Amino acid sequence: MIWVESELYENQDIKLDFTRWKECTFKGCNIIVKHGEFDLVNCHFENCKLTLDGNAIAIIKVCKLFFPQIPLIE
């Protein structure tokens, strides 16, 4: 797993998978999750968009069964 610490990202596509993010800030980024294998420690997100693909979509669909209030756009 890749380790990233104390970085600032602005207006970028960021793939979270297979990375440990610690104390990073994301501003106006497109946050992409496909596999769900990542770690976030004290990170901050400002005006970011979340894009799910692959396994991440399957996981959110299962979560929606238990928490129907979760918005899901297919």
Residue 39 lies in a domain: yes
Q: What value does the mean pLDDT take over residues 43-50?
A: 97
Could you tell me the residue range of the domain that residue 30 belongs to?
Answer: 2-66
Q: Is residue 72 domain-resident?
A: no
Q: What stretch of H or E contains 49?
A: strand 49-52
The reply to whether 71 falls in a domain is no
**Is 51 part of a structural domain of the chain?**
yes
74 in any annotated domain: no
Pairing of strands 2-5, 25-27: unpaired
Contacts of 33 (CB under 8 A, 6+ apart): 15, 16, 17, 50, 51, 52, 53, 56
Residue 69 predicted with pLDDT over 70: yes
Q: Is residue 26 part of a domain?
A: yes
Average pLDDT, the chain: 93
Which pTM value belongs to this model? 0.85
**73, part of any domain:** no
Task: Enumerate the β-bridge partners of residue 25.
Answer: 8, 44
Count: domains in the chain: 1
pLDDT over threshold 70, residue 72: no
Examine residue 40 and state whether it is found in any structural domain, yes or no: yes
